[in-house]
Amino acid sequence: MKLFIDTGNLKEVEALAQIGILDGATTNPSLLAKESADPRHILTQICALVNGPVSAEVVATDYAGMVREGRDLAGINEHIVIKVPFTKDGVRACKTLADEGHRVNVTLIFSATQAWLAAKVGAAYVSPFVGRLDDIGTTGMTLIREIVDIFDNAEFPTEVLVASVRSPIHVIEAARMGADVVTAPASVIEQCFKHPLTDIGLERFLKDWEKAQAARV
């Protein structure tokens, strides 16, 4: 399973990209709006840092506007994946852009039928939002299992990109269910590194080593 970072913050991307664990990134208008730098500059920099797919979302809501904006975003860098919201206009724009050879990520997916329709028109990725489904008292990960099954049965090449991730449990469940990609905020990726026994173990190794060195002199 590939790991993308879900952010518009360059420092967060840089810190994790240099470790070598990132396969790509996703952004959305809310994430880019938090940053003071020009969004196109941010997207260009993220592309250079992750050297992989970077989703950039259109803000137009009509078909023609989405297609126009999508083509423009794709011109920023070869790594840009055009992100469109799941609406009728978004699905139509996805078909047009995919037919032109662009990679499209259909976002704001909350049901299996939505994912299926997006895949039918050639989406490269669908982004089901698991955390937001959990927030309304349902189990977001159940949707991932359904979409993975449907795409396997239909042999769709569309990748299941698990989004709105809130914890390492979402990450692990996504991997176990056979999702293609998980996109997580930096805070969740940081949590994936941590285990108290690793810290305690390392501290003990180093103390024992120091003790032995001191005894030798």
Query: Residue 144: which H helix or E strand, with range?
Result: helix 140-154
- Taking CB under 6 A as the binding criterion, the range among 71-79, 127-135, 150-158, 192-200 that sits at the site for ligand E4P is 127-135
d(CA 108, CA 21): 25
Give, as ranges, the residues between 94 and 123 that touch ligand E4P (CB under 6 A): 107
92 touches ligand E4P (CB under 6 A): no
3-state SS class at 196: helix
Q: To the nearest whole angstrom, how small is the minimum distance from the Cβ of residue 202 to ligand E4P?
A: 32
Of 99 and 135, the one with the shorter C-beta distance to ligand E4P is: 135
183 touches ligand E4P (CB under 6 A): yes
Interaction pattern, residues 29-48, with ligand E4P; x per rule: CB under 6 A: --------------------
Among 58, 106, 163, 174, binds ligand E4P (CB under 6 A): 163
Which is catalytic among the residues 83, 88, 95, 207? 83
d(CA 93, CA 81): 13
Instruction: Report which of 118, 160, 119, 116 is spatially closest to residue 141, judged by C-alpha positions.
Output: 160
Query: For binding to ligand E4P (CB under 6 A), which residues are involved?
Result: 6, 26, 28, 107, 127, 129, 131-132, 163-164, 183
User: Mind telling me the catalytic residues?
Assistant: 83
